[in-house]
Amino acid sequence: MSDRTQSDWPIDPDGEEGSNGMRRFDMAILSKFEPKAAFPMTAEEFLDRHGAKPVRFNHQQIVPVSEIFDQVSVNSFATKTEFHHAVGEAIRDGGLWEYHAAH
């Protein structure tokens, strides 16, 4: 897990280029990177476009998209919904979620 801070990024992850004034975090900001019409898409294409961008998970933790994708287990996404399922699983598997619902 990364211990990078806001000052480690070329753009402010909480600014307009990053997470829209701290209103979008984790999966929500990833969703904004590509429209539904961009799918199908490979994981490699997504990483080429967005791998270095910062994603804030909480008030301390900011990681690059590429770190999230270290845990993505599929090579392509037919739809944006498939993208969300794969990335959500990767976020949980990578220990990036602070909150885990009891089952």
Task: Report yes or no: 42 and 75 within 8 Å, Cβ to Cβ.
Answer: yes
The whole-angstrom separation of Cα 30 and Cα 84 is 9
pLDDT reported for residue 1: 46
Q: What is the pTM of this model?
A: 0.73
The three-state secondary structure class of 87 is helix
Q: Token pair for residue 6?
A: 């806001």
Please provide the DSSP assignment of 23-85 as one string: T--HHHHHHHHS-GGG-SEEHHHHHHHHTT-EEE-SSS-EEEHHHHHTT---SEESSHHHHHH
Where do the domains of the chain lie? 6-93
pLDDT at 51 > cutoff 80: yes
CA 46 to the chain's CA centroid = 11
DSSP state of 100: -
Percent of the chain with pLDDT over 90: 42
- Using 50, 70 and 90 to split pLDDT, how confident is the model at 10? low
